Chain A
Amino acid sequence: MSKRALIIFLLSIPFLFILNYFLSNPSLFSPYALQIIVLMGINAILAISWDLIAGVTGQFSIGHAGFMAIGAYSSAFLTLNYHIPLIFAILFSAFLSLLAGFLVGIPSLRLRGDYLAIATLGFGEIVRVAILNMNSLGGARGMKGIPILSSFFSVYFLLAISLWLCLSLLKSQQGRILLSIRENEVASQMMGVDIVRYKVLAFAFSACLAGIAGALYAHWTSFIHPDSFTFMKSIEIILMGVIGGMGTIYGAAIGGAIVTLLPEGLRLLLEQNPLLYQNKEFIRMLFFASLLMIFIILRPQGIFGKKE
């Protein structure tokens, strides 16, 4: 792990502490703005986790909302029923989604490309339908009254950790191996890389990050519902990764922030027209879908390109 990244990371902690103090004070800073800033951080973690699989390793996942759901529900279940501190809830949900990542990664033994993507889609849907049928998790009613434990500090601290981990991973030998799998699976297998092992590890690590983001999300919004983790959510995560530029960690983080901000800007525009405002959800998705298409066709490298 690089020394420079470590120093930057250590320096960011007191900075985050001070910032947290100012931002969490409603008389100094608007709660609405804080809400958006925290969601930006959570989405940045999600985008990084997706990018690690799709951008870095070249394994497309369209079921990332499933990992997020596992993280969100497991930590919410723990804090709601056993009142344990946030950090243990997050650790547990990270572990659980890590296991789920292993589970989804194992099919990569046999599956490539599109097929693996479809398997992840199936996984995401299975998680959602399973939660929908579980009464202990609230079923179709969702889970209410989750204690609000996430804060600006915890979200951005974990974002900093994930950035640090991912960036140092990319610089390491393991990271290079992941990149070689993206460029050409068969060739890197010929070079003696145990591609299955690396793909499964990448999946597990990515799922773990997504689970952490889910846990933070549950403890920030205090309400989660199976509908918050549909196929659409997975698409939103893909959009974040693609806009920022697939294969760049910083790019993904910034993409996550942008995709969180865009609907807010859109909302301000739509508020002037009541007819459009009624349909704001659909217009938001229309806008996202067109953006995704335009980016893939005209600028597949994303806003920030391949520089890192």
Chain B
Amino acid sequence: MNIFIQQLVNGLAWGGIYALISIGYTMVYGVMQLINFAHGDVFMAGAFAGLVVANLLPNKTSFPSVVLVFLSAMLFSTFLGILIERFGYRSLWRKKAPRLSLLIVAVSISLLLENGGLFIFGAAPRSFPQIIPLKNYSVGGILFTNLQLLIILTSLFLMGILHIIVMRTKMGRAMRAVAEDSEMSALLGIPRERILSFTFALGSSLAGIAGVMVALYTPQINPLMGLLPGLKAFVAAVLGGIGSIPGAMLGGFVLGEAETLVSAYLSSSYRDLFAFLVLILILLFRPQGLLGKGVVEKI
């Protein structure tokens, strides 16, 4: 029983990371019905921004420098997210291009970021400096590290802030209005394109923080690191119900737990297979996800 609880605790950390990334997917999907494939690579870019800043700092383990690493990753990925929206999607979105075209552009932006990263940083994995020294704790026989604790608490904290932004602020209300009916909200005078930029910025900043946390947790990063977590975060978003923020959180945690259990009790090589199997099963039997609402086809 102890082993089982131990695995659950291990799964929580990955769950929090998946949840943070999948919120970005779900928000963008909510407002513009686009699967932003480049989102996983924004997460990678955040990790690399953190690496560059961490290598520049003299006293890496001090509290201000840790904050600085997180902030710079967040700022850089936010900037990148806005850039992607502005130069990749906006012109197509304005033209009301088919969703297929948007999807192809998303895939090509993702390739640009990955291969650009490979060109700049090389394919060999980089080790991330240990800006937070590892400590082990044990409560009632269950082991956990301060990093796991940090990841879980930070992700819960950020999700709380996000909830307040989306539910309580004017910007959040405008976002929900655009997600509900984009045309109608434009008629009512909501600046749709600004809302879009804001959505990308918000989602990307969360992905950037997730990037640094993964970099600290694994502690090696490479330019292709965004590919698989990105796809899995998407699976998490679909699992929870794409377009729903609480769904993305739930999906992230469920997927993280399920993956950890699969690699603990079956084999770690089936971990990725399992994630995609979950995706296809969910798509087949409950396409609206765990918390999503069914959509009626409009003619």
Interface residues, chain A, CB within 8 Å of chain B?
54, 58, 60, 62, 107, 110-111, 113-115, 117-119, 121-123, 125-126, 129-130, 132-133, 186-187, 231-232, 235, 238, 242, 279, 282-283, 285-286, 288-290, 292-293, 296-297, 300
Contact partner of A132 (CB less than 8 A), chosen from B108, B269, B284, is B269
Nearest chain A residue, comparing its CB with the CB of B299: A186
Nearest chain B residue, comparing its CB with the CB of A232: B111
User: How many angstroms from the CA of A133 to the CA of B284 in the assembled complex?
Assistant: 25
B window 241-294: CB within 8 A of A: 269-270, 272-273, 276-277, 279-280, 283-284, 287
User: How many angstroms from the CA of A292 to the CA of B38 in the assembled complex?
Assistant: 14
Answer yes or no: B297 CB below 8 A from chain A CBs. Answer: yes
Residue contact B105 to A107, C-beta cutoff 8 Å = no
Q: In the assembled complex, how far is the CB of residue B235 from the closest CB belonging to chain A, in whole angstroms?
A: 8
Contact partner of B107 (CB less than 8 A), chosen from A119, A238, A279, A282, is A238
Nearest chain A residue, comparing its CB with the CB of B278: A122
Nearest chain A residue, comparing its CB with the CB of B238: A118
Residue contact A290 to B279, C-beta cutoff 8 Å = no
Contact partner of B118 (CB less than 8 A), chosen from A111, A121, A282, is A282
> Which A residues are CB-close (under 8 A) to B297?
186
Residue contact B119 to A282, C-beta cutoff 8 Å = yes
B window 17-33: CB within 8 A of A: 33
User: How many angstroms from the CA of A232 to the CA of B111 in the assembled complex?
Assistant: 9
Residue contact B119 to A107, C-beta cutoff 8 Å = no
Contact partner of A296 (CB less than 8 A), chosen from B105, B116, B273, B299, is B105
Residue contact B111 to A235, C-beta cutoff 8 Å = yes
Supposing A60-B103, A126-B273, A297-B91 touch, asked if A279 and B283 sit within 8 A by C-beta, the answer is no
> Which B residues are CB-close (under 8 A) to A118?
35, 234, 238, 279, 283
Interface of chain A: mostly helix, strand, loop or mixed: helix
Answer yes or no: B55 CB below 8 A from chain A CBs. Answer: no
User: How many angstroms from the CA of A157 to the CA of B280 in the assembled complex?
Assistant: 36
Residue contact B103 to A117, C-beta cutoff 8 Å = yes
Residue contact A296 to B280, C-beta cutoff 8 Å = no
Residue contact B283 to A115, C-beta cutoff 8 Å = yes
Nearest chain B residue, comparing its CB with the CB of A288: B111
> Which A residues are CB-close (under 8 A) to B91?
297
Contact partner of B272 (CB less than 8 A), chosen from A60, A129, A187, is A129
Nearest chain B residue, comparing its CB with the CB of A230: B227
User: How many angstroms from the CA of A130 to the CA of B272 in the assembled complex?
Assistant: 10
> Which A residues are CB-close (under 8 A) to B277?
122, 126
User: How many angstroms from the CA of A290 to the CA of B33 in the assembled complex?
Assistant: 23
Known: A238-B104, A290-B108, A293-B88. 8 other contacts (CB 8 A): A62-B103, A113-B99, A129-B269, A186-B299, A235-B107, A238-B107, A286-B112, A286-B116
Query: Chain A CB within 10 Å — which of B235, B270, B284 has the most?
Result: B284
User: How many angstroms from the CA of A242 to the CA of B101 in the assembled complex?
Assistant: 10
Q: In the assembled complex, how far is the CB of residue A67 from the closest CB belonging to chain B, in whole angstroms?
A: 16
